[in-house]
Amino acid sequence: MRADKRKKRVLSVLLGGVMLASMMLTGCAAQDKTNTVVVQNQDTVHISMSWWGNDDRHKYTLSGLALFHDDHPEITVSHRYGIWDGYEQRNKIYMESHECADVMQINYNWLSVYSPDGKGYYDLNALSDVIDLSNFSEDDLAFGMRDGKLNALPIAYNSTAFFYNKTIYDRYGLSVPESWDDLFAAAKLMSADNIYPLGLSKKQLILSLAAWYEQTYGEPLFSDTGALQADLDQMKAMLSFYKSLISEKVIPAVDDFDATSFTAGKTAGAGCWSSEASRYCDDLDESGAEVVLGQTPGLKGADTTGWKIKPATMYAISAYTEHPVEAGELLDFLLNDPRMAKLQGTEKGVPVSKAALKTLENNHMLDDFDARAGEQLNQNKEKLGVMVPALEDADVISTFKNETDKYIYDQEDLDTCASQLVEELGSQ
């Protein structure tokens, strides 16, 4: 084995390079945390890794890196991590300055942003003797392909999942919603008690409106190349639908909603990423409420669901890495090693890797809310379109939010708002 030969050349290794479970995780919200391992032997290979997430993700990832170091004492791994807020902006600086980590957790849309020609990340096909690609189907691999190069591998898949507090719906004699009409009907009853049938975050609102648009007009809001396909009248119709969601109290304003709104019973439903289901549902479930997974809302007679699927997150290797083989060994461990799979569980979503999935199945670790949402996603894959990067583009989301706020809060009329959006989104 390559690793065994290298171990014979190692004279001394600073143990504990990645044994950092005891380091302080508090304060990680403010900035990325880094750790530089002192390399004391010229035969020791130094690589780096970056990711974002919450404290739980940081802790189990650090524990995984410690296991990797036990297996590969000739490789030391430094790391850079933080929460999502501000991470994307910092990543842009690292990518443009070629200072990114060797192994990176990335967002799906970053492939289009940083590697439209396949040259922005390392071609993982060149590491097929190190990374076990047999754990991924051709469809899985296709998500990471750019111009014939395998730039990234999916960790898990994501789509919008709708969870409902059935206890509240039962109180009003209502079934769990299956359509937009059902949600409007529920609002007529719940609004008297200041309860909203559903809550949506900023990104889930845009995905929901895009789904309604596609259900209504039979084509996606954005083309595969990111071009806006809505004309002025269609944009006005979508904005009118959005305002009716607010004015008829189907959803609260996006700035007033988060996971705690669902837990506190301010909303009787929540739309969230399938990989974040437990974050939205665990506390409510523990409080004694009956939390159920519902269907994605639709329009009767629609030819398409309008809902999309994408990799929740992916792993990639820097195009500028000086140690691609060692980076590949780490990437393979993160995706396919059963010990890492047990540490990670479904925190990132139900794993795509066949080896990781089998580990969770064998250890009965697929019974939480994330797993339920992941199972629904897998059952409906053929009905879901592939999410285009425009739907997650930070500029698109910001533009949409800023303009629609003016209309929702009566600072701008419908015609003006629709014209602005068609012009601004059409030029991005």
pLDDT tens-digit series, residues 37-89: 434 445 799 999 999 999 999 999 999 999 999 999 999 999 999 999 899 99
Model confidence at 11: pLDDT above 50:
no
pLDDT band at 8 (very low <50, low <70, confident <90, very high): very low
User: Residue 427 has what pLDDT?
Assistant: 74
Provide the token pair at 85. 């807020």
Q: Express each pLDDT in 102-133 by its tens digit.
A: 999 999 999 999 999 999 999 999 999 999 99
Percent of the chain with pLDDT over 70: 90
Under the banding of pLDDT at 50, 70 and 90, the label for residue 405 is very high
pLDDT at site 23: 38
Is the model's pLDDT at 29 over the cut of 70? no
The structural domains of the chain, ordered by start, are 2-157+311-372 (3.40.190.10), 160-306+393-426 (3.40.190.10)
Residue 9 has pLDDT above 80, yes or no: no
At 33 the pLDDT is 54
pLDDT on residue 389: 87
